[in-house]
Homo-oligomer: A and B are copies of this chain.
Amino acid sequence: MSSHRVNVGIVGASGYSGEELLNILLRHPHVDLTVITSRQYAGKSIHEIFPRFSHYPANRGLEFCEPDPEKFGPKADCFFLALPHGVAHEVAPSLLEQGRKVIDLSADFRLDDAATYRDFYGHEHPAPHLLEQAVYGLPEIHEPSIRKANLVASPGCYPTSILLPTLPLVEQGTIRPESIIADSLSGVSGAGRNASIPYLYVECNESLRPYGIPRHRHLAEIEQELTKAAQKKVCTQFSPHLVPVNRGILTTIYAAPVNEIRSGGDVSDLNRTLHSIYDEYYSECPFVRVLGESGLPDTKNVTGTNVIEFGWRVDPRTGRLILMSAEDNLVKGAAGQAVQSFNLMYEFSETDGLI
């Protein structure tokens, strides 16, 4: 395992994902944070904007700068982009041309197919050649590609919570992919640090509400990855809901097993199969906690960590498999997962900075 140090930059460090990247990278044993950008806070120091990091020894002197990649590009080897969707496009090409590695937390490079991008995002992709180059940064699934990547498109928070429990089962032919229904609950930090009435405290507290049903943008990457695993075109149902917590995504997934469940024996068989498959895929993965057929996830068991946990129930009455996962949307769903990819790209221990 490598033990050298890497100069790192965070582009767009003032939102919630950027702040969580700061939180992780300021304590990462192999990182020297040399660039942090924020149009709004240019010229200010970390501790003026985020007092909670002021006692981290590593942050001395670092100031936010303007997000001009020509200027800040030379100052680091690897950049995390924590920009709004549609802005990473404008920054990544310059950095890649300068020979930098880029880990993008937005949706800009997650889709392989420019047509699907247009379909879901409503405009042409401005840099379609980069879609080929980009690696979908789900470390538990795409580790070898991530290790070699120069451009990682780190997955969305919802897709992570859905794909990690389902991909192995789809790939192994255990569930019928077209039967998947993913019903997700997200904390409000998922909406970003944007001044907008629907996300005011009073509007969210004591409120439960669905949104983006039935065609949230994250659906595109969910279907893309399920399609790869199924080796046939997959169309799924995904329903996000906003609930009053700061952090956390809880996803409940309904799926039909390929082998019908008609008896208690079928239930036992499927439970064994699931244990076996998850063991094969995840037993070496430090951030996947498989809770099995009797455990139940709870976001409070994962907030502040890079862990996703999930359990399941086989229902002999309806014949369905119900998978339930919990993760921190800002860590495993964003900043933590991005750093996990970074660790792979630089041959550090996968858990560096994350435990």
Report yes or no: A188 in contact with B202, Cβ–Cβ below 8 A. yes
Give the interface segment out of A30-38, A72-80, A135-143, A314-322. Answer: A314-322
B247 near A318: Cβ-Cβ < 8 Å: no
Answer yes or no: A1 CB below 8 A from chain B CBs. Answer: no
CB distance from A250 to the nearest CB of B (A): 4
Residues of B near A206 (CB, < 8 A) are 206, 245-248, 299-300, 303
Please measure, in the bound complex, the distance between the C-alpha atom of A236 and the C-alpha atom of B307, giving whole angstroms: 32
Contacts of A16 on B, CB cut-off 8 Å? Answer: 202
Q: Mark A273-311, 1 if CB is under 8 A from B, else 0.
A: 000000000000011010100001111111111010100
With known contacts A200-B193, A237-B318, A317-B214, A55–B207 Cβ distance under 8 A: no
Bound together, the chains give a CA A297 to CA B213 distance in angstroms of: 12
Residues of B contacting A302 in the complex (Cβ-Cβ under 8 angstroms): 52
Instruction: Scan residues 179-216 of chain A and give those whose CB is less than 8 A from a CB of chain B.
Output: 181, 183, 185, 187-189, 193-197, 199-211, 213-215
Query: A55 and B289: CB pair below 8 A?
Result: yes
Cβ of A308 to closest chain B Cβ, rounded Å: 11
Does any Cβ of B come within 8 Å of A111's Cβ? no
Min distance, Cβ A128 to any Cβ of chain B, angstroms: 24
Complex A-B: 27 CB contacts under 8 Å: A16-B202, A27-B355, A181-B254, A185-B185, A185-B241, A188-B205, A193-B202, A194-B200, A199-B201, A200-B201, A201-B244, A203-B300, A205-B244, A206-B246, A206-B247, A206-B300, A207-B245, A207-B298, A208-B243, A209-B298, A213-B296, A214-B315, A214-B317, A236-B318, A239-B322, A241-B252, A244-B244
